[in-house]
Amino acid sequence: MNEILYNQKNFLKSQENFLLKLAPYMLSHDVWEKIKAENKDVIIHASSSDSPLPSPPLPSIKTFFQSNLRDSIFWCIYVAINGESCFQSQLRSGVNMINLMMNEKKAIFDYFNNNLSALKNSNHKITLAKINEIKCNLMTKTCMDSIDNFIPCSIYYKRPIYVYFKEIHSYMIFVDKNYVDDDTEGDADPNIILLSIKDGRFVLESNVAEFIKNKCNLFHIQHYEKILAGISTYKTNEVQEIYKTIFGKDDGLKKPEYYEKILVKCSAIVNAKI
């Protein structure tokens, strides 16, 4: 281009001279064909439908909430009721989360102290001694660390709570016996709270509809203190099927052996302190 623009007298006065000098730099039909020929392999590779360009990675979708605060049961329930954005905004604004938790537990205690028979409405039958223990723990224990804490939460917040034990392919339900499902046209009840255990702590799961759709493939534990009914209640093939669901295999055992192994495994998982 230097040769064209400099040291050229009367350059623009001659159209022929102008075009002649610029010809090598123009994207004419001849020049385009030459470029395609020189870069044939590159062009074919880039346009081939058999070798598409890699798509950018999709952003990961968060499917659960896990609190770093100590009481994983309480904070999972709290977020299920109030939303994660509320929880995060309180953390950012410097709210004393321990005081917030204790005030909420006090409100739950007061509710059951003023409604003495309310805890009897749980789908899990409990004794009077257990009712008093649950109420006492709300005021004296700094952490909800056992499975029976879902009883007062499910009744006070009027929300069914499903606890999914992935390790043993089982689940449990805590709900007020007077609760009426809000399932529209067969969809999962939007009020369901679904929790599971991850790294020794409870997490709040968001894929409720998927869980409800597949729970028929899981073992439903009817009561947290009584994993199985009496052994005479089951036929051998029934205990065998439960065993296969929980352990993912069949070890060819006898009925009492199936029963004992199910009971030991499930009890250890369900009643573990969180």
Side-chain-facing half-sphere of 15: CA atoms under 13 Å? 0
Residues 6+ apart with CB under 8 A from 122: 151, 154, 155, 174, 175, 176, 177
pTM: 0.76
> Beta strands 193-198 and 161-165: pairing type?
parallel
pLDDT at 42: 46
Looking at residue 168, what DSSP letter applies?
G
With beta carbons less than 8 A apart as the criterion, state whether 64 and 198 touch. Answer: yes
Predicted local distance difference test score (pLDDT) of residue 7: 53
Q: According to DSSP H, which parts of 115-234 are helical?
A: 128-140, 150-156, 208-214
pLDDT score recorded for residue 22: 55
Q: What is the pLDDT of residue 3?
A: 52
Look at residues 139, 160, 164 and name the one whose alpha carbon lies nearest to residue 151.
160
Mean pLDDT, residues 251-263: 96
Helix (H) or strand (E) holding 261: helix 255-270
Which pLDDT tens digit goes with each residue over 2-12?
A: 555 555 555 45
pLDDT reported for residue 31:
60
Q: What is the pLDDT of residues 44-91, one digit of tens each?
A: 444 444 555 555 554 444 567 988 898 999 999 999 999 999 999 999
H-helix or E-strand spanning residue 41: helix 40-47
Which pLDDT value is given to residue 145?
87
Query: What SS3 state is found at 256?
Result: helix
Contacts of 166 (CB under 8 A, 6+ apart): 196, 197
What pLDDT is stored for residue 188 in this prediction?
81
Contact 117, 124 (CB under 8 A): no
Q: Binning pLDDT at 50, 70 and 90, where does residue 43 land?
A: very low
Could you give the percent of the chain with pLDDT greater than 70? 76
- Residue 250 clears pLDDT 60, i.e. is over it: yes
